[in-house]
């Protein structure tokens, strides 16, 4: 099939190649006249979608001319993007094995990307591990490796490679390393190993002290050990640092509150959220209306008043909560800040764009829009 964007790309790099050749010829009378003809023939093959013939010609040119390797790299990534990974692998393998020292590492890195897009992760890993010894490609190789291990959910390996990254990068992504440790802790909890989970969570906090996920997991461990008071403190702390987690945390908090002799929690929730300074009054009200069961919304002090002049009574607040929950369940209770993905369930890492901590309750956005509408009217 005829695809315009790759073709345009192909044309662009052929034209650049031609220009480079003509400039080169002006300065060097010794060059043969075979090259421009090959460019035209290769171009014709590309236009007619005969990529293998084109690849053959450019490969031959690359052998004759060292600087034509760039054209092969362009061709290789063109093939990869078209999904013709076998061809990309053939080009990059040849460049790695037969190219000069200057192109070897670049070809190896391109080859690893080919293997990655072909789903040949073992091979990609092997090439990237070797490349970690290269000065120029070390960082890129380690970065790609971390991405592969993240995608595979191999958190131990992701963490190991993370620690090989430059110190400044590690400091920059400390939060992500803390998430890896939380992932490992969750796994330990599933296996019933609370002790190991606790150790891992402690380590997670050394990477990032204010990680609500570590609070939530520690709270679960405390709850299991019968330490409800301690669990409650941790849940509320997590809520304060990250109000977006309210839909996940509030049900757990209310469940504990029901078992405590003096459950003042219902009053505590709005206060903590308000004092966090991270939510507008409308966001706070809508969040509570969604997270707290309808029967209890009416008991929330101050919330009904903050729902705005048109929704004042507790009964209305409660029905708004039901409405918000229903809309949320239909269209996704959460939305990714980075890519806009809607999801019913919570993710620490967006399954679409793979950003960490990017999900946020959909009611946040709606409340924000309502706030803006009020402001601009």
Binding residues for Zn ion, rule: CB under 5 A, are 336, 338-339, 341, 350, 352-353
Q: What kind and span of H or E run contains 263?
A: none
**Closest approach of Cβ 134 to Zn ion, in Å?**
32
Nearer to Zn ion, 104 or 352 (CB): 352
**Closest approach of Cβ 46 to Zn ion, in Å?**
35
Burial (0-12, 13-18, 19+ Cβ within 10 Å), 108: buried
**Closest approach of Cβ 360 to Zn ion, in Å?**
11
Nearer to Zn ion, 157 or 352 (CB): 352
**Closest approach of Cβ 335 to Zn ion, in Å?**
9
Unique residue bearing structure tokens 């052929």: 14
CA distance 28 to 239: 70
Nearer to Zn ion, 171 or 339 (CB): 339
Nearer to Zn ion, 156 or 339 (CB): 339
Crossing angle (nearest 10°) for helices 4-27 and 69-81: 180
Nearer to Zn ion, 300 or 336 (CB): 336
Could you tell me the sign of the dihedral formed by the alpha carbons of 358, 359, 364, 365, in that order?
positive
**Closest approach of Cβ 341 to Zn ion, in Å?**
5
Nearer to Zn ion, 161 or 341 (CB): 341
343 three-state secondary structure:
strand
CA distance 298 to 315: 7
Ramachandran angles phi, psi of 311, nearest 5° = -125, 100
**Listed residue (242, 250, 252) closest to 269, CA to CA:** 250
**Closest approach of Cβ 338 to Zn ion, in Å?**
4
What is the longest distance spanned by two Cα atoms in the chain? Answer: 94
């Amino acid at each position: 099939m005829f695809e315009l964007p790759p073709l345009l790309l192909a044309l662009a790099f052929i034209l650049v190649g031609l220009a480079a050749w003509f400039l080169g010829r002006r300065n060097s009378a010794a060059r043969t006249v075979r090259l421009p003809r090959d460019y035209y023939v290769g171009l014709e093959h590309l236009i007619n979608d005969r990529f293998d013939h084109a690849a053959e010609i450019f490969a031959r040119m690359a052998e004759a001319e060292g600087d034509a390797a760039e054209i092969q790299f362009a061709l290789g990534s063109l093939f990869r993007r078209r999904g013709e990974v076998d061809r990309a692998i053939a080009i990059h393998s040849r460049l790695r094995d037969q190219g000069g020292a200057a192109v070897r590492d670049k070809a190896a890195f391109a080859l690893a990307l080919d293997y990655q897009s072909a789903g040949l992760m073992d091979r990609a890993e092997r090439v990237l591990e070797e490349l970690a010894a290269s000065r120029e490609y070390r960082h890129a190789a380690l970065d790609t490796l971390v991405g592969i291990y993240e995608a595979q959910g191999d958190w131990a390996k992701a963490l190991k490679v993370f620690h090989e990254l430059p110190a400044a990068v590690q400091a920059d992504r400390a939060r992500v390393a803390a998430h890896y440790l939380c992932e490992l802790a969750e796994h330990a909890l599933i296996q019933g190993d609370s002790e190991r989970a606790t150790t891992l969570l402690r380590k997670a906090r050394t990477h990032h002290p204010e990680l609500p996920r570590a609070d939530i997991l520690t709270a679960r461990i405390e709850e299991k050990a019968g330490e409800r008071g301690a669990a409650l403190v941790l849940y509320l702390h997590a809520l304060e640092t990250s109000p977006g987690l309210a839909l996940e945390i509030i049900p757990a908090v209310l469940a504990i509150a029901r078992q405590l002799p003096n459950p003042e929690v219902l009053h505590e929730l709005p206060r903590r959220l308000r004092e966090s300074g991270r939510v507008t009054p409308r966001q706070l009200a809508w969040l509570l209306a969604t997270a707290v069961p309808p029967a209890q919304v009416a008991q929330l002090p101050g919330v009904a008043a903050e729902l705005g002049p048109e929704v004042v009574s507790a009964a209305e607040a409660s029905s708004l909560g039901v409405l918000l929950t229903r809309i949320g369940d239909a269209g996704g209770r959460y939305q990714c800040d980075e890519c806009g993905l809607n999801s019913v369930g919570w993710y620490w890492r967006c399954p679409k764009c793979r950003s960490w901590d990017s999900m946020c309750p959909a009611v946040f956005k709606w409340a924000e829009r309502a706030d803006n509408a009020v402001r601009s009217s």
